[in-house]
Amino acid sequence: MTGRPVPEGALYYASSKRRRTVSIDGALRQGVEATALAVRGMLAAATLPPPLAGELAAQRCKGCSLKDRCQPEAGASPALEAVRAHLFDPDA
């Protein structure tokens, strides 16, 4: 808006009381634009992405404020996957 370059920003995590500096470059700007488009698409389609799984879940879910509601472990359960696979199959 001002025409001045913005080479970095900062995130403050209240739970850990830590401030993290983030470099703002072309790759980050492209990632933010792609993410904003994806979120707009999900809002327009009234859909939610599935919970994270595997290594991504291990990295990101631990500190997520939505973890109690999202329950990513439940989605990773083989028993739940088996039930879900036949949830709408009346012949199962």
Binding footprint of ligand SF4 on the chain (CB under 6 A):
51-52, 57, 60-61, 64, 66-67, 70, 72
Please state the closest distance from residue 39 (CB atom) to ligand SF4, in A. 13
- Which residue, 41 or 63, is less far from ligand SF4 as judged by CB? 63
Q: What angle do CA 69, 22, 17 make, to 5 degrees?
A: 55
Nearer to ligand SF4, 84 or 86 (CB): 84
Nearer to ligand SF4, 30 or 59 (CB): 59
Cα 38 vs. chain centroid, distance in angstroms?
A: 11
The three-state secondary structure class of 2 is: coil
Contacts 24+ apart (CB under 8 A), 8-15: 13/63, 15/63
**Beta carbon of residue 82, minimum distance to ligand SF4 (angstroms, whole number):** 21
Nearest distance, CB of residue 42 and ligand SF4, angstroms: 13
Bridge partners of residue 12, in order along the sequence: 19
